[in-house]
Amino acid sequence: MQSLKSLIGIPKTATKEIYTFETNAKISLFYNICAIVFFGFDTNFLFDDLKLPRKIVEICRIISNVFGLLILLYVCSVVAAFVTQHNLDMTRKAQMWLYGPSSLTLYAMYWNIVLRKNQIKKLTYTLVVVLRGMFTDDELEKEMIKKTWRFSYAFAFLLNGLFVSTGIVAGYVASTTNDTFTTMVPAWPDLNDHSLAASIARIAHYCVCYIFLMRIGCIYFVIAAIAIALQFQYGILCNYFHSLNSIFDEEGSHEEKEQKYEDAFVFGIKMHSLTLWCIDQTQVTCGVAFSAQFIANLMTLVAIMVKFMYMERTFGNYLTVFMFAGLVLSSAGIFMWNAGDVTFEATKLHTAMFHSGWHNCRRQASVRVRKMLTIAVRQAQDRVTIKGFGILELSYESYISVVKLAYSVFSVLA
């Protein structure tokens, strides 16, 4: 069947005039998110300048370069711990697995997103400028903005709560027992080293870990905003096609209404084609992030369950484990729930097209519209999915499957 893109002449890439736009609510949302991300690691994912003072930009760049080096050393340290740290109990081994492989995986995800920032700029421009300029729904747009901030606030709360609770628990244990302040297992120092240099190194690891988590959190903000925007874009498309029925209630001759409906339906197909392009670009730009998130979640959940089984039953340990589990499950949800919502909303589009009012057309107009409708509905019926590893569909079902798989792996290892 002939592709809709070739049928109506939609280009395969977004417009190159990425700096031509008027401010709107979606742009303000992405501007604020990208500003937060920029302060996090000096990378601008917005299609326009952030309009920050030059001095601030220079300072952020210097700080970001220093933080980038520290994060690289941190990742190397938690991975090298598998070689340098020996004679660990099961709790410490679980802690080592909790931070080592997952940190390396998330670090790879981080760099993949940074290297694809220009593609992300084109993607967000198409979403918040081009498609919004074609048609929008103010109520859905407000709901999209609220949902984006709700996810961001919840994730930020869990991330900071985990950092604070881990530090408090480790500090309390170090001050009341003979244990050292250990929040993760580094390559150096040894866990039984009580020297001043070792204590400073552990505190440094703890602080750099927070910087690393903040950068990963910034990546999550960007991906979540894109996924949520795609979800509501399908809702906007459905509302657009439902609204076409009202054309035949307007004044004028029936032939004029038919022509207006036909032009409006073609315009809706163009919006759908651009939306599909956005889906493809999301898969290209964020596919590695989706795959890396799956691996990191699986390993982290298994490590959390192992640690829970062997740890001392205290309030502090319970708090840390539950905060960590909540963070992991919510981070997985940011990707899988919203990707699943995109799939769900996309299933409504072909019905909206069918109820757009084509039956009001007559004679030759009816023939033309029915042919166009058949192609459009057929393409809208194709399942829209966002996948990890190119095969794992991200959805509510796959979210439950990841949790079940982690428990299965834990059961085998235990």
For 21-42, what is each residue's pLDDT tens digit? 788 889 999 999 999 999 877 7
Classify 385 as helix, strand or coil. coil
14 vs 285: CA distance, rounded Å: 14
| Residues pairing with 392 in the sheet | 388
Mean pLDDT in residue range 236-265: 93
Q: Read off the pLDDT band of 279 (50, 70, 90).
A: very high
Q: Read off the pLDDT band of 293 (50, 70, 90).
A: confident
| Residues pairing with 387 in the sheet | 393
Mean pLDDT in residue range 400-412: 87
What residues have CB less than 8 Å from 183, skipping those under 6 apart? 166, 167, 170, 202, 205, 206, 209
- Tell me which residue of 229, 261, 230, 259 sits closest to 245, measured CA to CA: 261
313 vs 293: CA distance, rounded Å: 29
Mean pLDDT in residue range 43-72: 90
391 vs 329: CA distance, rounded Å: 21
Radius of gyration, alpha carbons of the chain: 25
Query: Which pLDDT value is given to residue 20?
Result: 67
What residues have CB less than 8 Å from 28, skipping those under 6 apart? none
- Answer for the pair 170, 163: CB distance below 8 angstroms, yes or no: no
Query: Which pLDDT value is given to residue 140?
Result: 95
Q: Is the pLDDT of residue 335 over 80?
A: yes
- Triad 410, 412, 414: Cα angle to 5°: 65
Query: Which pLDDT value is given to residue 41?
Result: 76
The two structure tokens encoding residue 335: 């990707």
Q: Is the pLDDT of residue 119 over 80?
A: yes
176 vs 166: CA distance, rounded Å: 16
Q: Is the pLDDT of residue 1 over 60?
A: no
The interaxial angle of helices 396-413 and 315-346, nearest 10 deg, is 140
Q: What share of the chain is helix, strand, coil (3-state, %, to 5)?
A: 80, 0, 20
Q: Is the pLDDT of residue 372 over 90?
A: yes
Q: Is the pLDDT of residue 15 over 80?
A: no
Helices (H), 14-134: 25-41, 54-84, 90-115, 117-125, 131-134
Mean pLDDT in residue range 359-378: 93
Report the C-alpha dihedral over residues 16, 17, 18, 20, rounded to 10 degrees: -170
What residues have CB less than 8 Å from 331, skipping those under 6 apart? 155, 220, 293, 297
Q: Is the pLDDT of residue 68 over 90?
A: yes
Mean pLDDT in residue range 224-253: 94
For 169-206, what is each residue's pLDDT tens digit? 999 989 888 889 988 899 999 988 999 999 999 999 99
378 vs 32: CA distance, rounded Å: 38
For 125-160, what is each residue's pLDDT tens digit? 999 999 999 999 999 999 999 999 999 999 999 899
User: What one-letter code names the amino acid at 142?
Assistant: K
387 vs 279: CA distance, rounded Å: 11
Classify 58 as helix, strand or coil. helix
